Chain A
Amino acid sequence: MRPGLAVAALAAGALALGAGTGGAQAGPADERYRKLLHEKRVLLRANLLLKHEAELAAGKQPYIVFDVHKGELEFRVRGKPFKTYSVSGLALDERGTPIHPEALWRVLDKPITVLEKQGGRPELLPPDPESGRETGLLFSDPNQLASQTGATPVDTDAGLLGVDAPTDYYLKFEEDVVFHVLTPRSRSFRQKATDRLAEIAGAMRTTLTGWWGRSELPSEKRPRVVLYLTMDPDTAKHLHYSLLPGEKLVVKPPEPPPLSLVAAGPRPAPGAAAASKAAPSAR
């Protein structure tokens, strides 16, 4: 046999082995094995979420379940969903680089706690006692509240004033996670070009800094996870009003990723134990 033919025959044999375990030629037992493995992984992920939720639902505080696949933030108390906010976009950066739900869940597989929301605590300045006496304004007069906080009117009716929530803001979590809430906006060509140049410069600086022996500049301590959530302005405001520090957020696990079965070596595999060893992250 010519050496070329021998190599081709070996390669064909290897391909056939691979197809035999995962392809169309798999027997009914292999198919059953694959189906059960998939079912187990789905159930394990559901189990993890249910365990977190059972713990959260036992308390009286609200918590948020973030369904990345559907793009929904669901507010629940005692396990019951009371309201849902839609997220139209989820990205790794402001430019809109998409994030895989699986990747997000792998870094946020435990509940996280809201630490701070940007613009969440405007300071109310008490008026001077003398001026208060002169004007005769009531403490609970909405006009006075707005004038004290410097908030802008939310209605053209001069009487209806309050503290307006921002539409673009960040949410910090105790676990070194930051969500940036953004509203969709159209960027001009100039803005796009400026952003692009800034991004290139940033990439060059980061890489060069890395080459010089430091992975990040000291002033640039980036959070562990940064996400950009896009939603319409009303939803962004409602979310801002709804969230309070201390509330928990849990990411709903996505469907497990596709499974590729490979033939084991000569030693017998003890079923599920071997499977879980092969993929410790499978949940």
Chain B
Amino acid sequence: MKILRLDPAVADAAPPPSTSRPHRSLGGRLARAAILMLTSVALVSAGLVALRWSRGADRTGSFVETMEVPAGPKEVQAAIASLEKEVARLAAANKKLEQRIRTFHPRGQYVVIDTGANKLYLMRDGQVVLDALVSTGSGVRLSDPDKPRSWVFDTPRGEFVVRRKVNEPVWTKPDWAFVEAGENVPRNWTERLEEGVLGDYALDLGDGYLIHGTIFERALGLHVTHGCVRVGAKALEELFRSVGVGTKVYIV
């Protein structure tokens, strides 16, 4: 028979383990359930966000391309010879394309109009010889209340040529000028003529677009025109004297 000895000190420190679960209050159970639920939601959310980010990783990640190197030294030499030919051919093709593009470049004297900053530059052999503030198109749309037609007041973009130089230009008002003013469009063309509003000079770029003077010099630097380029009187005079018919104008 085995005699069990119970040490009183040990018995005080460690009570025998109980097999029954301790009693918990309803509040405690609810709190535990809430914590469990919140943790699950947080984990699922983190997983979803990670999934979402991993989808976009191909646009933000790094790129490495893999290519095969030929097996033996003989094959490598053959590949090098082939590549050398191809590289030389490509370099020649690129040079030819660059030369072709250069043939389009403006040369000598030309005018540049920056519609973003409302600036005009007269260029001569790559140097700025005149720099002026201008007004360009407002970009607004005007619709005729009586007829199904509308106008957009943009300054056209691209390469143009000075077609004509005009001293003391007289403006022949187009239809939109009357529609915009809320007036009836006249049948007689003489009623369309208006003197003095275009300044002392005008450079005709075609399709009704002009580089001309203005009676609204306060508005230089703003996008307020109907498509024409307005220049201050002093700069316009210098420009008019410097450029000839056929001068290229680049509007960007």
Interface residues of A (CB under 8 A from B): 21, 29-30, 32-33, 36-37, 39-40, 43-44, 46-47, 50-51, 53-54, 57-62, 75, 77-80, 82-83, 85, 92, 97-100, 102-104, 120-124, 126-129, 131-132, 137-142, 145, 149, 154, 157, 159-163, 165, 200, 203-204, 206-208, 237-239, 241-242, 244, 247, 256-275, 278-279, 281-282
Contacts and interface: CB of A to CB of B under 8 A. Distances in A.
A79 B101 contact: yes
B81 A97 contact: no
A240 to B, nearest CB: 8
Nearest to A21: B69
B68 to A, nearest CB: 4
Chain B binding surface, main DSSP class: mixed
Contact of A238 (B78, B86, B116, B183): B116
Given A50-B94, A270-B79, A79 B181 contact: no
Nearest to B250: A77
Interface string B186-201: 0000000000010000
Contacts of B252: 62, 75, 77, 82-83, 242
B63 A257 contact: yes
Contacts of B145: 126
A132 B181 contact: yes
B182 A268 contact: no
A275 B68 contact: yes
B82 A40 contact: no
A235 to B, nearest CB: 9
Interface residues of B, number: 86
Given A77-B250, A142-B219, A160-B218, A126 B101 contact: no
Contacts of B114: 82-83, 242
Contact of B79 (A77, A104, A272): A272
Given A100-B62, A163-B223, A126 B75 contact: no
B235 interface: no
A43 B90 contact: yes
Interface string B126-146: 000000000010111111010
A122 B97 CA distance: 41
Interface stretch (B18-26, B50-58, B239-247): B50-58
A75 B64 CA distance: 32
Nearest to B145: A126
A140 B197 contact: yes
Contacts of B48: 200, 203-204, 207-208
Interface of B: 45, 48-49, 51-52, 56, 58-84, 86-87, 90-91, 93-94, 97-98, 100-102, 104-106, 112, 114-117, 136, 138-143, 145, 152-154, 157-160, 177-184, 197, 216, 218-219, 222-224, 226, 250-252
Which among A120, A200, A242 has the highest number of chain B CB atoms within 10 Å? A242
Contacts of A208: 48
By Cβ-Cβ distance, the 4 closest A-B pairs, closest first, are A271-B79, A238-B116, A271-B82, A257-B63
Nearest to B89: A43
A43 B97 CA distance: 12
Contacts of B158: 59-62, 77
A61 B70 CA distance: 47
Contacts of B69: 21, 30, 33, 261-264, 269
B184 A242 contact: no
Given A264-B70, A268-B72, A200 B49 contact: yes
Given A92-B59, A126-B181, A274 B79 contact: yes
Nearest to A202: B52
Contact of B67 (A37, A77, A266): A37
Given A121-B152, A242-B116, A271-B70, A200 B45 contact: yes
Nearest to A273: B82
A121 B76 CA distance: 61
B141 A123 contact: yes
26 contacts: A30-B76, A39-B87, A57-B101, A59-B158, A62-B157, A62-B251, A79-B102, A79-B104, A80-B105, A92-B60, A103-B60, A122-B141, A123-B142, A128-B182, A145-B138, A161-B224, A242-B116, A258-B63, A258-B65, A260-B66, A262-B67, A263-B68, A264-B71, A271-B70, A271-B82, A272-B82
A44 B90 contact: yes
Nearest to A256: B65
B104 A258 contact: no
B64 A207 contact: no
A119 to B, nearest CB: 9
